[in-house]
Amino acid sequence: MTSRLLARLTFRRPPPVVGVIRLTGVIGQGGLLRGGLNLETLAPSLERAFRLPGLEAIALCINSPGGSPAQSALIQRRIRDLAIEREVPVMAFVEDVAASGGYWLACAADEIFINDNSILGSIGVISAGFGFTDAIEKLGIERRLHTQGGKKSLLDPFKPERPEDVARLENVQRQIHDNFKELVRSRRGQRLSLAEEELFSGDFWLGTRAVDIGLADGIGDIRGILRERYGKKVRIRTIGRRPGWLRRRFGFGMGGAFGAPFGPEEGSGLIDNLLASVEARAWWSRFGL
């Protein structure tokens, strides 16, 4: 064996590996958001991605209109913890939207790349519901509610709204909003160029404007950026399965954590899925999607 061939065999390095994690859908835990993004179902994929042999970076593919602030924070924190432990950079690639909790997830990345038509922002907190006081009266329905604790029936939809209940809710929302704002400040830092009154108003921005105000770092797609950064031989390893189109957009077909068919224990599974699809559709429609 010649010395030249020996040198080539000795110094030939394997191609760099980038682990890709898809964060797609409404963020939530259980209930009508069953099957959405939550730490319990994502944790195994996160661990696998950060332990890939030859790992150079992690890429997050994000397409989420938001959801649970607690689950958003838990997922974002787990990604940051793993990135620090493994000393691996994290990049986020936004597809249609990374808004509200979706942008909270994007803040797990060191760099955020978007499409010209991607929607970012909605850094705020929202709570929605219905009131049925007049409806049950017209139907002749008597509301029976027994509690221990004066504040246990906060914002009961079958009772008239009370100012003190609204004040309590607004206080909780304010605290969550403060946590959200602090996260964005800590992760985006000096890159932010818009006045906080506007940046944290709940508004959202498109493409290049989101880059201009510091919510994202550049325009680009995952394949192009990774090949530019790590060379044409970069190996892109997607961890976890990409949900079907109906599940991604409408939340439909979410039989279990990974879209498994319904079992006997699901009971009214079809009705639950129809309700889940309506709720998920409402999240997407806030951004015209």
DSSP 3-state assignment of 95? strand
CB crowding 155-165: b at 16 or more within 10 Å, else e: ebebeeeeeeb
Is residue 134, in this structure, part of any structural domain at all?
A: yes
Is 139 buried (19+), middle (13-18) or exposed (0-12) by CB count in 10 A?
Answer: exposed
Residues 6+ apart with CB under 8 A from 206: 116, 117, 118, 119, 120
Could you report the per-residue pLDDT of 199-245, keeping only the tens digit for each? 999 899 999 999 999 999 999 999 999 999 999 999 999 997 555 54
Q: What mean pLDDT do residues 181-194 have?
A: 94
Q: Of 95, 107, 91, whose CA–CA distance to 62 is shortest?
A: 95
- pLDDT tier, 44 (very low <50, low <70, confident <90, very high otherwise): very high
Task: Give first-to-last CA distance, the chain, whole Å.
Answer: 62
Alpha-carbon distance of 245 to 58, in angstroms, equals: 24
| pTM for this prediction | 0.76
Regarding whether 135 and 93 lie in a shared domain, the answer is: no
> How is residue 282 written in tokens?
């409402």
Worst-scoring range by mean pLDDT, 18-22, 39-43, 53-57, 123-127?
Answer: 123-127
Regarding whether 115 and 27 lie in a shared domain, the answer is: yes
Could you report the per-residue pLDDT of 58-74, keeping only the tens digit for each? 999 999 999 999 999 99
Q: Is a pLDDT exceeding 70 seen at residue 30?
A: no
Regarding whether 212 and 83 lie in a shared domain, the answer is: yes
- CATH code, domain carrying 78: 3.90.226.10
Alpha-carbon distance of 153 to 130, in angstroms, equals: 15
Alpha-carbon distance of 210 to 278, in angstroms, equals: 29
Residues 6+ apart with CB under 8 A from 48: 19, 239
pLDDT reported for residue 172: 81
CB crowding 56-65: b at 16 or more within 10 Å, else e: bbbbbbbbbb
Worst-scoring range by mean pLDDT, 25-29, 77-81, 127-131?
Answer: 127-131
pLDDT reported for residue 3: 60
> How is residue 266 written in tokens?
């699901």
Regarding whether 109 and 55 lie in a shared domain, the answer is: yes
Residue 262: give the domain boundaries: 10-122+203-285
Worst-scoring range by mean pLDDT, 186-190, 228-232, 249-253, 272-276?
Answer: 249-253
pLDDT reported for residue 242: 54
Q: Is a pLDDT exceeding 70 seen at residue 192?
A: yes
Regarding whether 224 and 174 lie in a shared domain, the answer is: no
Could you report the per-residue pLDDT of 97-148, keeping only the tens digit for each? 999 999 999 999 999 999 999 999 988 776 665 555 666 666 666 666 666 6
Regarding whether 172 and 37 lie in a shared domain, the answer is: no
Regarding whether 97 and 21 lie in a shared domain, the answer is: yes
- pLDDT tier, 13 (very low <50, low <70, confident <90, very high otherwise): confident
pLDDT reported for residue 266: 42
Question: Which residue type does 257 have?
Answer: A
pLDDT reported for residue 248: 47
Regarding whether 135 and 117 lie in a shared domain, the answer is: no
Q: Is a pLDDT exceeding 60 seen at residue 273?
A: no
Is residue 1, in this structure, part of any structural domain at all?
A: no
Provide the mean pLDDT of the chain.
Answer: 79
Is residue 194, in this structure, part of any structural domain at all?
A: no
pLDDT reported for residue 152: 61
Is residue 5, in this structure, part of any structural domain at all?
A: no
Q: What mean pLDDT do residues 158-184 have?
A: 81
Q: Is a pLDDT exceeding 50 seen at residue 252?
A: no
